[in-house]
Structure 1
Amino acid sequence: MNRLSFEPGENCWRVASAERFALIVDGADYFRALRETLFMADRLITLVGWDFDFEIEMLPGESDDEGNAPDGFPNQIGPFLEALVDRRPELEIYLLKWSGGALIAPGRLLPTAHIKLLSPDQVHLGFDGRHPIGACHHQKIVVVDDSLAFCGGIDVTDGRWDQRDHAPNNPLRHLKNGEIAQPWHDATTVISGDAAAELGKLCRMRWARAQDSEMDEPFTPGMDRWPDSIEPDFRNIDIAISRTEPPGKNHPPITEIEALYLESIAAAQDYIYLESQYFSSDEIASAIAQRLQEPDGPEVIVINPVAAQVMLEDEAMHVTRSRFIRHLAAHDPHGRFRILYPSDSANGGIYVHAKITIFDDCFLRVGSSNIDRRSLGFDTECDVALLADSEEDRRTIRGMRDSLIAEHLGREKDEVGQEIERRDSIIAAIDALNRPTGKGLRPIHPRKETFLGSLLADTRFFDPRYRSSAAARLGLTSRHVMYGAAAALAVGAIWWSRSRRR
């Protein structure tokens, strides 16, 4: 059996020690910890994200009549950041957002323009369009004073806040339009020490690539910025940082994350537990099929949402998933594969946005990458991972696994752990603890294919992988598309203005 190790340049970019490391599950705990950490910042805050919504409340339900949180500062993220630099003039804040977000969420243009044009000079908003056409910047990283970092799957945007019980119709989970958002399961990590400093360097590289200029801020890691609300899971443990990046002028595609996925699947002996928004990677499905055919291979449990949020995306991504489910069922002679979705207490689906891998109580990976072709060979992603050597650290990873499964089943963590140990099988334990209705894990069945779904799945229109023949190699990027769109809007505005004066 293969033994997994972290190899910089192969399955990771850097390996560095984390003084402290914790897994944060779901948005309520994340946004509280993020606020605490940002409040402590002295010199530099860097947020790198797929999207930012500057109007969201970080602590829903805790605002006073003036819109302030209990700490006395504005609850909304945009005014909160402005208040931080007003309080501490030496603080600089850099926000790097995917340029294509304006097309996906045009309603956020005005708040974004306010941050760009009207915020204090210490707040720097940049847009990242240095990608092949169709690719996106998908990393979700926050670094404070080069000393503490959050890295995972939670975007600082609308609809990401939720509590671990995922109660249906929770009024605190309201969107800006007043609607109640669907339950949302997500995860990230918080890291201090040298590993956080390396993530700070990565963010500086991303800024320089997107903006053609350096941050020009001193690099002074080593400060204590750990949030009080989070208890560390690990201390003094090595962390691997892995990336996906499309090719640039001076480098080939970076596929460290895919290599780490494939090597971890090959190394697992007892079980592989995966949470992901999608399940549409040919390479991952083939690697799992190979392990399922082994007489003594691992159990494989995949947690997905039952459906995508948008109909077109659902047709594109989950027809492919259905094909893989059929393929794996045909190559699973020992019955060791399950793909499931979590339901809430009202039998509604909980949307899974977390990107987590755990195997054999010894490996944990959390990040921005999904199990799809985009994340493994087209978009820009960042994951972090660790290997547990000591029995204490293995016990911690086992507890994380049990806690995640317990959240989905509506059970206690210890109850799940005891059932898995008693049955020597995660699948058997889930079957035993699953309730027939309400909170629980439900099987995802293959769907019948529609014409549109088959077309989108066959072409991989929404799930491409970079090819050397792509138009991007001619130098066209998403940034050029955005420049063109902006120019067209400007010309249209001038024409409209002149026509009204005639």
Structure 2
Amino acid sequence: MIVLLSILTGCASLGAEPAAEPGHVVAPPVAVVVEGRQGLQDEARSRQAIEQAEAEGRSRAFKAHLARLTALGETLSSNNSVDLLIDGPATFDAMFDAIKGAEHRVFVESYIFEDTDIGKKMRTHLLAKKAQGLDVRIIYDGVGALTTSGRFFDSLREGGIEVCEFNPVGVDEGRAAPLDVNHRDHRKLLLIDDKIAFVGGVNISSVYSRGSFSRDEAASDEGESGEGAGWRDTHARLSGPVALELLRGYEDTWHRQACGGPPFDLPERDAGQAEPTPGEPDDRLVLAILSQGDGDSGRFYRALLGAIETARSSIHITMAYFVPNPTMLDALKAAARRGVDTQLVLPGKSDSLLVLRAGQARYDDLLDAGVKIFERHDRFLHAKTAVIDGVWSTVGSSNLDWRSFLHNDEVNVVILGREVGQQMDTLFAKDREAAERVTPEAWSDRGLGRRVMEMVGQVWQYWL
């Protein structure tokens, strides 16, 4: 069988100030003074003028990114709230609280659904809701959950829950296994009623039983090595109209996979509803992107590529699996060369050495163009996020690789707004602080064996 991967995956300073070279003096920071109609302004007025200029710059970036998404034919929804969830414990606590409050339906879609402690807790909550008469359904991937016992899923079905295996590797309830074993459901999606959705990189897996940033958590099992820490990942809780859009996407997958069961009974779209438009420049808009490996697999790719090409000031990407195609690679290099602060936080270790090396084969070109690269060696990095110009943010299941953009069903949300953008930039800075900078000089000294593995990874990149 083909081995498939569980892949997908306020601005701080750029790190400590460089130490002074011998014989040189580091100058103290200089306060910026603004000149107005009345001449030089005092410090308070100068600061206010600078803040207004920065806000206006963000406003222009907001409008530029909104225009680019509109040109791609995308429709965003307004009046949504977004809460970022960092790592497994916070994500599952929020999920279980939302499930407890469900009144009508609870739908789960997950690439991996383990029968370990986290999976069993999820089962308990779902069975309790089914016992209350709610519509409860699960979609899990046939490859992602390959090691989960059939008895586990049978116990969910026996409790009345509708359970469907995506592209089964054998025969599931009379549905023959599809020939396209490379087409997988890599989404991580939880839907509560018609109003709450959870989207991100967190699978239902024991690797998320602990957080990734705490030293105490890291040392709990494996001393100071950090191997006992949970995976580093990001999820989002959304409430508002975008949840209903994701719910309709779930229904579409259920029907495409011939999962059966009772009808969904979802609310109809309001034909007279006007297209959502931003009010104030900082109005938060959200776009749900559900890509399909057997349909429009490149929808999120186009959105991300468009944002990179539109970027004016910064591109901050945190990515679990990084194997960009030539077009995406060129876009990142072009952004750096036109002066956009382009930074990547990537894994220094991976569950697939070939994927890791295939991505590292791009480092020479990126470093030459001025892209700053940081690797996290202390934790397993599984997050798939980006923040561009401090206003365009994304959280989801898509990695920046061929598999996510061609072969998988994926789900991502794009958020336009400064508040979420600032939170994302703060999180990016925290990851960057825990990472090691990859310098052109150090990278050029890597050994022959590493270079050979990079070439091998590139040969197989389409299938990884």
TM-score by length of 2: 0.72
Q: 1:242 is matched with which residue: 269, 272, 289? A: 289
Give the Å deviation of 1:291.
1.9
Question: 2:71 & 2:142 partners in 1: Cα distance?
Answer: 29
Contact 2:387 2:425 in 1 (8 A): yes
Distance 1:95 1:242, change over 3 A: same
- Cα deviation code 1:391-411 (max 9, x no counterpart): xxx2552243124313552xx
Question: 1:6 & 1:366 partners in 2: Cα distance?
Answer: 20
Q: Secondary structure at the match of 2:372?
A: strand
Give the Å deviation of 1:109.
4.0
Do residues 338 (structure 1) and 372 (structure 2) align?
Answer: yes
- Cα deviation code 1:308-340 (max 9, x no counterpart): 12xxx21x212221221012223x2xx3x1121
Amino acid at match of 1:306: G
Distance 1:151 1:404, change over 3 A: same
Q: What residue in structure 2 maps to residue 77 of structure 1?
A: 122
Q: 1:111 is matched with which residue: 152, 156, 168? A: 152
Question: 1:36 & 1:210 partners in 2: Cα distance?
Answer: 29
Question: 1:216 & 1:236 partners in 2: Cα distance?
Answer: 36
- Aligned-residue Cα RMSD (Å) equals 3.1
Q: What residue in structure 1 maps to residue 175 of structure 2?
A: none
Contact 1:244 1:381 in 2 (8 A): yes
Q: Secondary structure at the match of 1:76?
A: helix
Q: What residue in structure 1 maps to residue 144 of structure 2?
A: 101
Amino acid at match of 2:155: H
Question: 2:98 & 2:84 partners in 1: Cα distance?
Answer: 16
Question: 1:373 & 1:461 partners in 2: Cα distance?
Answer: 6
Q: What residue in structure 2 maps to residue 402 of structure 1?
A: 426
Give the Å deviation of 1:48.
0.8
Do residues 120 (structure 1) and 159 (structure 2) align?
Answer: yes
Q: 2:106 is matched with which residue: 45, 48, 51? A: 45
Distance 1:47 1:301, change over 3 A: same
Q: Secondary structure at the match of 1:326?
A: helix
Q: What residue in structure 2 maps to residue 205 of structure 1?
A: 252
Give the Å deviation of 1:82.
1.7
- Cα deviation code 1:342-365 (max 9, x no counterpart): 35xxxxx21111111101111111
Contact 1:12 1:242 in 2 (8 A): no
Give the Å deviation of 1:205.
0.8
Question: 2:375 & 2:431 partners in 1: Cα distance?
Answer: 12
Question: 1:6 & 1:210 partners in 2: Cα distance?
Answer: 35
Q: What residue in structure 1 maps to residue 347 of structure 2?
A: 305
Question: 1:182 & 1:443 partners in 2: Cα distance?
Answer: 24
Q: Secondary structure at the match of 2:408?
A: coil
Q: Write out the 4+ residue segments of structure 1 that deviate beyond 6 Å after TM superposition.
A: 6-10, 171-174
Contact 2:69 2:306 in 1 (8 A): no
Contact 2:345 2:431 in 1 (8 A): no
- Cα deviation code 1:376-401 (max 9, x no counterpart): 1221111101222xxxxx25522431
Do residues 217 (structure 1) and 264 (structure 2) align?
Answer: yes
The gaps in structure 1 that reach 5 residues or longer are: 59-74, 223-234, 344-348, 389-393, 410-438, 464-502
Question: 1:306 & 1:399 partners in 2: Cα distance?
Answer: 24
Q: What residue in structure 2 maps to residue 228 of structure 1?
A: none
Q: 1:260 is matched with which residue: 281, 293, 303? A: 303
Question: 1:450 & 1:289 partners in 2: Cα distance?
Answer: 21
TM-score by length of 1: 0.67
Do residues 143 (structure 1) and 187 (structure 2) align?
Answer: no
The gaps in structure 2 that reach 5 residues or longer are: 1-59, 168-177, 270-281
Q: Secondary structure at the match of 2:97?
A: helix
Q: 2:87 is matched with which residue: 26, 29, 47? A: 26
Give the Å deviation of 1:169.
5.3
Give the Å deviation of 1:453.
5.4
Do residues 364 (structure 1) and 393 (structure 2) align?
Answer: yes
Do residues 373 (structure 1) and 402 (structure 2) align?
Answer: yes
Q: What residue in structure 2 maps to residue 289 of structure 1?
A: 333
Amino acid at match of 2:236: T
Q: What residue in structure 2 maps to residue 486 of structure 1?
A: none
- Cα deviation code 1:138-157 (max 9, x no counterpart): 11111011211111111122
Distance 1:108 1:214, change over 3 A: closer
Q: What residue in structure 2 maps to residue 318 of structure 1?
A: 356
Give the Å deviation of 1:13.
5.7
Give the Å deviation of 1:197.
0.8
The count of aligned residue pairs is 372
Give the Å deviation of 1:172.
6.9
Question: 1:131 & 1:193 partners in 2: Cα distance?
Answer: 38
Contact 1:11 1:256 in 2 (8 A): no
Distance 1:91 1:7, change over 3 A: farther
Give the Å deviation of 1:163.
2.5
Contact 1:169 1:180 in 2 (8 A): no
Q: What residue in structure 2 maps to residue 67 of structure 1?
A: none
Give the Å deviation of 1:161.
3.2
